[in-house]
């Protein structure tokens, strides 16, 4: 048998139902007076010296409190039961039906006690019908609320996951902006290789799949260096910036230090003395990590 969703019988929701259903029932009874308390025996609660209408309200309040106690006991048992096993839709419907029957018996006894009743059986069926009608609205309202609440929670979880995925995606990509701050190129961080100065432009070397590509963007290398501050894309020469994560070989020659990327068509990039220390420090830090 298909189990009902677990959020229906969560402790918080059970408490909400135990509080809301009887209070709704009390308001309904006081407003519409559906139960048979219209002809109260004058001997009922004579010491209160109050009107029959007020006695009606007092009795209604008392039986609703009893109904609340029944619901509280029932839901406590249900909570303990569901800790050991799942509860099916059929079991839950039977459980609710038993709650209604017990409350009906209480209301019937109260009606018999409070007024002269010739046929208790007819009174029971009449009270059962009215009890079902009284409880049907708050039961349905609470179930709809619980489902809505759970859907809102699920939507928030999905939204949070999407935001996390978006942040992860944004971190995975790097954007190259032009001199006006407009994005001209967005490429995966590990696919960006070299940024080369070309007068008032920069030439961005990157991989698209296995193919080497380059794109001209109107900006300066200084602006790009400011944009990529505190990243692994560092300036290594007055004319070059390199993605240190993509470097394959660091080579020292008489002319100076060069880096190789091992990609056909991409020239070796020189490292000038001005930037050699920062490049070496970064590489040493990465090796220790």
pLDDT tens per residue across span 58-109:
766 777 788 788 888 888 888 888 888 888 888 888 988 888 888 888 777 7
pLDDT on residue 11: 82
pLDDT for res 260: 92
pLDDT for 268 equals 92
Q: Given pLDDT bands bounded at 50, 70 and 90, which one contains residue 52?
A: low
pLDDT at residue 47 greater than cutoff 80: no
Mean pLDDT for the chain overall: 81
Q: What is the dihedral of CA 46, 49, 55, 57, to 10 degrees?
A: -150
Q: Which domains does the chain have, with CATH numbers?
A: 6-167 (no CATH), 185-288 (2.40.50.1020)
Between β-strands 240-243 and 233-237, what pairing exists: parallel, antiparallel or unpaired? Answer: antiparallel
Pairing of strands 201-208, 192-198: antiparallel
pLDDT higher for 251 or 110?
Answer: 251
User: Does 59 or 254 have the greater pLDDT score?
Assistant: 254
DSSP calls for the chain: -PBPPGGGG-HHHHHHHHHHHHHHHHHHHHHH--SS-SSB-TTSSGGG---HHHHHHHHHHHHHHHHHHHHHHHHHHHHHHHHHS--BHHHHHHHHHHHHHHHHHHHHHHHHHHB--S-HHHHHHHHHHHHHHHHHHHHHHHHHHHHHHHHHHHHHHHHHHHHHHHHHHHHHEEEEE-TTS-EEEEEEGGGEEEEEEETTEEEEEEEETTEEEEEEESS-HHHHHHHTTTSSEEEEETTEEEEGGG--EEEEETTEEEEE---TTPPPEEE-HHHHHHHHHHHHHHHH-
Confidence of residue 207 (pLDDT cuts 50, 70, 90): very high
At residue 136 the predicted structure's pLDDT band, cuts being 50, 70 and 90, is confident
Whether the predicted pLDDT of 206 surpasses 60 = yes
- pLDDT at 115 > cutoff 70: no
Place 26 in a pLDDT band, splitting at 50, 70 and 90: confident
Strands 256-260, 249-253: pairing is antiparallel
φ/ψ region of 89 (left if φ > 0, alpha if ψ in -120 to 50, else beta) reads: alpha
Of 166 and 203, the structure prediction assigns the larger pLDDT to 203
Q: What percent of the chain has pLDDT over 90?
A: 20
Task: Determine the pLDDT at residue 289.
Answer: 46
In degrees rounded to 5, what are phi and psi of residue 175?
Answer: -110, 140
* Res 166: pLDDT: 67
pTM of the model: 0.52
What is the Cα–Cα distance from 29 to 53, expressed in whole angstroms? 12
Least confident of 112-126, 158-172, 263-277: 112-126
């Amino acid at each position: 048998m298909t189990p009902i969703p677990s959020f229906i019988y969560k402790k918080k929701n059970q408490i909400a139902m135990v509080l809301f259903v009887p209070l709704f029932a009390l308001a309904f009874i006081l407003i519409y007076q559906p139960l048979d308390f219209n002809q109260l025996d004058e001997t009922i609660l004579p010491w209160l010296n109050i009107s029959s209408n007020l006695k009606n309200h007092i009795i209604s309040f008392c039986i609703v409190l009893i109904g609340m106690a029944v619901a509280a006991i029932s839901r406590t048992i249900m909570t303990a039961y569901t800790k050991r096993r799942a509860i099916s839709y059929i079991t839950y419907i039977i459980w609710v039906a038993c709650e209604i029957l017990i409350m009906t018996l209480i209301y019937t006894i109260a009606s018999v006690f409070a007024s002269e009743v010739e046929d208790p059986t007819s009174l029971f069926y009449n009270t059962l019908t009215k009890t079902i009608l009284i409880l049907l609205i708050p039961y349905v309202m609470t179930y709809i609320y619980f489902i809505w609440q759970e859907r809102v929670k699920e939507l928030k979880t999905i939204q949070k996951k999407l935001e996390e995925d978006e942040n992860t995606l944004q971190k995975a990509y790097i954007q190259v902006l032009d001199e006006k701050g407009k994005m001209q190129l967005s490429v995966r961080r590990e696919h960006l290789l070299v940024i080369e100065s070309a007068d008032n432009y920069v030439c961005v070397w990157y991989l698209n799949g296995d193919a080497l590509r380059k794109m001209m963007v109107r900006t300066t290398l200084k602006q790009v260096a400011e944009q990529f501050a505190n990243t692994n894309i560092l300036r290594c020469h007055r004319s070059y910036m390199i993605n240190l994560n993509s470097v394959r070989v660091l080579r020292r020659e008489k002319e100076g230090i060069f880096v190789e990327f091992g990609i056909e068509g991409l020239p070796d990039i020189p490292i000038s003395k001005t930037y050699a220390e920062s490049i070496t420090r970064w590489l040493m830090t990465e090796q220790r990590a």
